[in-house]
Amino acid sequence: MNSDHGHLTSDIAVRKAEHIDLVLNADVEFRRSTGLDGFEFVHEALPELALKEIDSTTELFGRALRAPVLVSGMTGGTPLAGQINERIARAVAAAGLGMGVGSQRISFERPELIETFQVRRFAPHALLIANLGAVQLNCGVTPDDCRRLVESIEADALASRLNPLQEVTQPGGDTDFRASSPRLPRSAARWDCR
Ligand SMILES: Cc1cc2nc3c(=O)[nH]c(=O)nc-3n(C[C@H](O)[C@H](O)[C@H](O)COP(=O)(O)O)c2cc1C
């Protein structure tokens, strides 16, 4: 990987801390409807089934889930982010669910921060999804780099984040999205993954 992001290293760590701070302390709640409020559950008075017959379990990337629920990838790369990932891992392990970590891009330049993403020991059997922005494939990241990201946290899959709007609005964002779409399947093919 070419490291023309050298000057961004600290920026990324600062940005990760800012993201957490914003969510915890700023008024960033999503205001508009998600559309889910358009749905209503109708009480079924004569259900003709036993609760024990309802099976919400499923399997994803070879991992059993007690229900199709994932805690989406959010963070990593700072001590606080590491604590958050640990707590999420302990919670999904207890609940039999799955989780993702936030973008691991910082770990290319700051390998010592990989530990803030390494939650496998807190959730030995849980579905764990690694994470990297798809645009990084345009910034010199290779499919083998991606494989190393997954292996570095003993993850079961890699989430390739498609976030051009965030990249163009954040300082130091990567904004060359050309050829991303063909690069993704080509990378996945290199991995022989789904
Ligand atoms: C603090 C924070 C950091 C995030 N960082 C990432 C990230 O690194 N990679 C990613 O794929 N998604 C990231 N996300 C997006 C979430 O995974 C999720 O897609 C988003 O929050 C929308 O889901 P929600 O409406 O349930 O919050 C982040 C979200 C938050 C709140």
Q: Is 72 in the pocket of ligand 1 (CB under 6 A)?
A: yes
Please state whether 140 falls in left (phi above 0), alpha (psi between -120 and 50) or beta. Answer: left
pLDDT, mean of each 10-residue run, the chain (194 residues): 45 90 91 88 94 96 97 96 98 98 95 97 98 92 92 96 93 86 76 55
Q: Is the dihedral of CA 173, 176, 181, 187 positive or negative?
A: negative
The model's pTM is 0.89
How many CB atoms lie under 10 A from the CB of residue 68? 12
Q: Is 75 in the pocket of ligand 1 (CB under 6 A)?
A: yes
Please state whether 117 falls in left (phi above 0), alpha (psi between -120 and 50) or beta. Answer: alpha
DSSP for residue 56: -
Q: What pLDDT was estimated at residue 191?
A: 64
Ligand 1 centre to CA of 73 (Å) is: 6
E strands of the chain, at which residues?
58-60, 63-65, 70-71, 98-100, 127-133, 157-161
What is the C-alpha to C-alpha distance for residues 150 and 132, in angstroms, rounded to an integer? 10
CA angle 172, 71, 104 (to 5 degrees): 35
Which tens digit of pLDDT belongs to each residue from 104-152?
999 999 999 999 999 999 999 999 999 999 999 999 999 899 999 999 9
Q: Write the CA distances from 107 to 44, 57, 117, 146, integer angstroms.
A: 50, 33, 9, 11
Q: Is 74 in the pocket of ligand 1 (CB under 6 A)?
A: yes
How many CB atoms lie under 10 A from the CB of residue 133? 23
Set out the domains of the chain in order of their start, with CATH numbers: 11-20+58-189 (3.20.20.70)
Contact yes or no for 46/75 (Cβ under 8 A): no
132 phi and psi, to 5 degrees? -155, 140
Q: Is 159 in the pocket of ligand 1 (CB under 6 A)?
A: yes
DSSP for residue 70: E
Q: Is 23 in the pocket of ligand 1 (CB under 6 A)?
A: yes
